[in-house]
Amino acid sequence: MDRQRWLVLGAVFIARTSMGYQFQSIGSVGPLLVAQLAIDFAVLGSLIGIYKLPGVILAIPSGILGNRFGEKSMLIAGMGMMAVGGFVTAFSDEFTIMFAGRIISGAGAVLFNVLSAKMIADWFADKELTLAFAIHVNSWPFGIALGLATQATFAQAISVNGMLSIAATFCALGAVLLAMGSQDHHQKNDVAVAPTDRSCISFHEIILVSLAAMVWLLFNANLIIVVSFAPAYLTAMCHHVAAAGQLASIGTWLGILSVPISGLIVQRWISAKIFIPFTFLAGVAATCAIIWLEDPLIGFIAFGIFAWAPAGPIFALPVQVLNKANRAIGMGIFLSYYYLGIGVFPSVAGYLRDQSGDPAAPIIFAAWLLVGALVMLVLFWVFEKVLQSKS
């Protein structure tokens, strides 16, 4: 059983890496797409964010579909949709068709993301949950870092469309790997849950999951806006487009290291109630350092160390307040908020760039979003204490 759960985590990690790689494929070549499609940065932000927007509608039904048809089957279906949508995006030079392809890919990503989180929660709920979620969450920045480091180079070597087809192929390979290496969690001593009990999530759980979701949303919005708009900012500061992506990727590569290390630190040595606020404040300073320091490399290094660090402990928050029978629908609610915010905030960041004419405007906006995440975290802990005292 112990060996199997780590095999499942490994398969999900690689598949989820392909999701991050596909998501980043638009942001990595942002300046090239703006010129190729004759669009502005607000529209570019919409093309980035639309990948997440289907989750507003599909996150909760994804949990229900997983309960009905099995998580493994739905995970493979989600990866298949990501591949199909990726090829639709890749084989088009028209914005509207690319937009449709991103929606198809995003819908598959929702299905995969909700159920992979629930699957990992089931396999690791009894022990090493924070560490497992840190590794699980880390697959996303790993895919983004791969994208930042390689996609602009691929786009210039072959074409933007050719690079997008590489991202779609990666998702197809992820579906094959899931078919070979993952399985649903079943134990002999599991108590069957009656269908009518699956959706009996309490009002207290909804409040706490919603607050945790706001923390996760704003935390991720900071990361996604920085990695999506940093290449364009650096290009405006006279960096070559490929070099800009590689420089921006340094923070993400460091984030890949900091996330699992931080998960281990929180699990063994430091309380999350100390660690998460500290890294939020340090992350705000690091985000600002990218544009305020003469050498942006220092800012990206600090960003990778601190801004990414609390991912695992944050993602564990909803699991800690949900009953086991409510995990699927609870994670659906949790991710619905996330998808709404991530679907909208990149467009806002692009709009601020267009209106101000300042390439740094999206980065400044991202720093304020992390401040908002800290406020939501404090509210989560306050409501958790109040609601527990009343129950």
- Identify which of 1-10, 57-66, 88-97 has the greatest average pLDDT: 88-97
What letter would DSSP give residue 315? H
**Which tokens is 272 given?**
């999350």
**Which tokens is 178 given?**
């899931």
What letter would DSSP give residue 11? H
Instruction: Tell me the per-residue pLDDT of 171-216, one tens digit each, with 9 for 90 and over.
Output: 999 888 888 866 555 554 444 444 444 457 788 888 999 999 999 9
Return mean pLDDT, the chain.
85
pLDDT interval class at 30 (50, 70, 90)? confident
Instruction: Tell me the per-residue pLDDT of 238-252, one tens digit each, with 9 for 90 and over.
Output: 777 777 878 888 888
pTM of the model: 0.76
Question: Are 64 and 74 contacting, i.e. CB atoms less than 8 angstroms apart?
Answer: no
3-state secondary structure of 68: helix
Instruction: Tell me the per-residue pLDDT of 338-376, one tens digit each, with 9 for 90 and over.
Output: 888 877 888 899 899 989 989 999 999 999 999 999 999
Q: How far apart are CA 37 and CA 203, in angstroms?
A: 47
Residue 103 has pLDDT above 60, yes or no: yes
Q: Which CATH number fits domain 2-185+198-390: 3.20.80.10, 1.20.120.350, 1.20.1250.20, 3.40.1390.10?
A: 1.20.1250.20
3-state secondary structure of 198: coil
**Could you report how far apart the first and last alpha carbons of the chain are, in Å?**
35
